[in-house]
Structure 1
């Protein structure tokens, strides 16, 4: 008899704590010396449980945690949601001079890049502005705290890498520099894009005889030097002779990065600016659609909106983009959808002190977690044991069970936005992080699978069509020190392939 999928107590209702692993999965685990109790699996077809192996155990999910973030965001914010960036002015334009400050307000715009900034400044020029008499004020206050990257220890040995970027509400170009390194037999030359005002690159790299393809073996953490207004990015380590490579790095302090890009772009447009670039004081921050008694009158001069949410989800899930996932997670605790604007800020929730006074706004991550857990309760998904840190899976502390993850996928399957969500997942043997996997399996071109990998963690979660062309929810998680060198991937691939080949003939668990 089929069991209704009530994930708040699914395993207890089915009397399941453990089910024998499918033979291909067990063989793959044994071949790599990974014990079966390091593996968690949940397979569901329709409302029936086909396989539950340690499915109730919370485990490190790695990037399959992005499923929780993207499912809840799509349900809560909707497909018309867009992040915003606004450029506002506090003065009138007289003879080409803006008589006041500019305010650049961040609104979790995940597409805010150099082109977007230049386009906004072009609109400013078209309004007749040639010179800015005041300062450029930066408003990052949508997320609380505004700068979550400050003082945080590196996650791993590559803090400069894109996957480690910790976002804020006004993150420009993801704070990345594209560094091009070119060597001949005697020297290494380096340059960077985008072109930043008074920023140079120096390659303090020793030439070595090594294959160009192995250039990263000699890469060392870059840094930068400040000499008055001049900044110099310093590349360190070794580099192969007669080699050319481009690598994106997050090395500049983001206040410097935004200021230098703004000054360079405004100058190229023929604009003049001699003021400072600084964080906006609280008295200048009146969020869109609100009023503050002491805030100067600000009028909108230019704006940029991101792509709609379903398009952003494709980048987050297909390519496992951590920075975008973290921005979206924080947006759950900061923004609501707006059909006209794309999004608008939520009213802040205060943190009260012992005397009842307001101490600070509730942190955005805490508010986002509240949104996720409330959504889980509404969908009868037990949140016990779940630990959610930043919503991306790039975390040592996040935990999620296969049963809980299957609950997110089941709710998404029944959602009005199911097509949008499923289109965001990598397709086996076709695109994203699954493009080179399962090419010889019947799952190829059919299975839609989110992947996750960290040291000691390999996970998959998504939808697989079985031999009768019925869609199954499949979750597989492996937490063990031996998951590296393809071992964990072999186990999860064996699970997907087994479902695609055999699940139609399986007996539904009682």
Structure 2
């Protein structure tokens, strides 16, 4: 990760503490910060570091860390077309079920690939209907959002085990099935226009699977979630964790598993959901730092997937325009978080080749612009630390 802006003069531990304290005083509002060296276990700086503060989208680092460590970076989520009757002479004698696997990224392109596979198997007629099966998740479309203005789907979309186009429609699973039927008809397949709910066998016979598409790897999905702070992806991944570990995807089940993982990391976390869209989602800077430190000790593929999921200062995602021209550019990675009056920035600075310092800066009752200035100056200073 080393690179980016021209190297600047290094700072000692004493200068680091002095400079960080100065920026904390200037930030206004209520703030906490923690900076630590995962190699030595030394706390380099703390100010209000043990007090829980609303973490906003820093919640996503807990969700994605749990997903990567639990499911693995190569995990993919499948969407299938399953016939309830035999396919003979181009005809399915029965219904065709579109089965969701918790993929947050399914679009019409994926449905088109399913139609290609159906065509390759000679499908030209379905005697029954095109059904949809979203039973991998519960039927709850929204998540708890205490203290957040707007409707339950603002900035989120509707959740479903058969998600489609980021949950933009009122009934994503039905919309996916309707779109699937339309694509099949466009390709000459005779199928009813009426779509409805249904259940496919949990383990269908191989010959019953007419088509199957998979999402990108979990590592890639986690990167999209964190780099661009996609609430919908975070909430879908939370339910995916629960589905894998408990048999059905629920927000409460996923949140419990994330809290358990945080506890294993030495962190204390209060959460209602997976994205941070709740003022009840809270942790101390020290707890966020504990999670970040824990992720550096994971096996290599998990560790690298998590590091790669964070935005690069001055380079990508929500940090693309921040810290440019400073020592942090290209040398620090992190996750932002923003609610009204709340601003967070947590992550790592690479202060020597493959030598990271972890940090978490959480602020509330602040002006967001002023908070960003203080955070950026603090991270730029951390990047100059000489261990």
Q: TM-score, normalized by length of structure 1?
A: 0.66
1:264 alignment counterpart = 182
Q: Which has the higher strand share?
A: 1
Higher relative CO (CA 8 A, sep ≥ 6), structure 1 or 2? 2
2:201 alignment partner, one of 286, 294, 300: 286
Taking structure 1 as reference, are residues 255 and 371 closer, same or farther at Cα in structure 2, changes over 3 Å only?
A: closer
1:165 alignment counterpart = 157
Q: Offset at 1:364?
A: 2.0
Q: Offset at 1:504?
A: 2.8
Q: Offset at 1:448?
A: 0.9
SS at match of 1:164: coil
SS at match of 1:138: strand
2:386 alignment counterpart = 504
Within 5 Å, give how 1:356-367 maps onto structure 2. Answer: 364-367=250-253
1:439 alignment partner, one of 324, 336, 345: 324
CA distance in 1, matches of 2:147, 2:180: 28
- Calculate the aligned-residue CA RMSD, in Å: 2.9
Deviations 1:292-346 (A, max 9, x none): xxxxx9821111111111111111111111111111111111116xxxxxxxxx5
2:277 alignment partner, one of 382, 394, 398: 394
CA distance in 2, matches of 1:404, 1:151: 22
Q: Offset at 1:489?
A: 0.9
Matched, 1:57 2:51: yes
Which segments of 5 or more consecutive residues in structure 1 lack a partner in the other structure?
1-19, 176-249, 292-296, 337-345, 349-362, 506-510
2:133 alignment counterpart = 139
Taking structure 1 as reference, are residues 153 and 278 closer, same or farther at Cα in structure 2, changes over 3 Å only?
A: farther
Within 5 Å, give how 1:383-422 maps onto structure 2. Answer: 383=268, 386-416=269-299, 417-422=302-307
Deviations 1:26-66 (A, max 9, x none): 5555556x14xx11111001211011111111111111111
Contact preservation (8 Å) 1:467, 1:500: no
Q: Which has the higher helix share?
A: 2
Q: Offset at 1:261?
A: 1.9
Larger-Rg structure: 1
1:84 alignment counterpart = 78
Deviations 1:367-406 (A, max 9, x none): 2233223323433x143xx221221112232111111111
Contact preservation (8 Å) 1:21, 1:53: no
Equivalent pairs, count: 370
CA distance in 2, matches of 1:113, 1:306: 10
Q: Offset at 1:96?
A: 2.7
Matched, 1:429 2:344: no
Matched, 1:93 2:87: yes
2:33 alignment partner, one of 41, 59, 69: 41
Within 5 Å, give how 1:60-459 maps onto structure 2. Answer: 60-143=54-137, 145-149=138-142, 156-157=149-150, 163-175=155-167, 250=168, 252-255=170-173, 257-280=175-198, 284-288=199-203, 299-335=208-244, 346-347=246-247, 364-379=250-265, 381-383=266-268, 386-416=269-299, 417-459=302-344
Taking structure 1 as reference, are residues 105 and 152 closer, same or farther at Cα in structure 2, changes over 3 Å only?
A: farther
Which segments of 5 or more consecutive residues in structure 2 lack a partner in the other structure?
1-14
CA distance in 1, matches of 2:376, 2:307: 19
Taking structure 1 as reference, are residues 164 and 365 closer, same or farther at Cα in structure 2, changes over 3 Å only?
A: closer
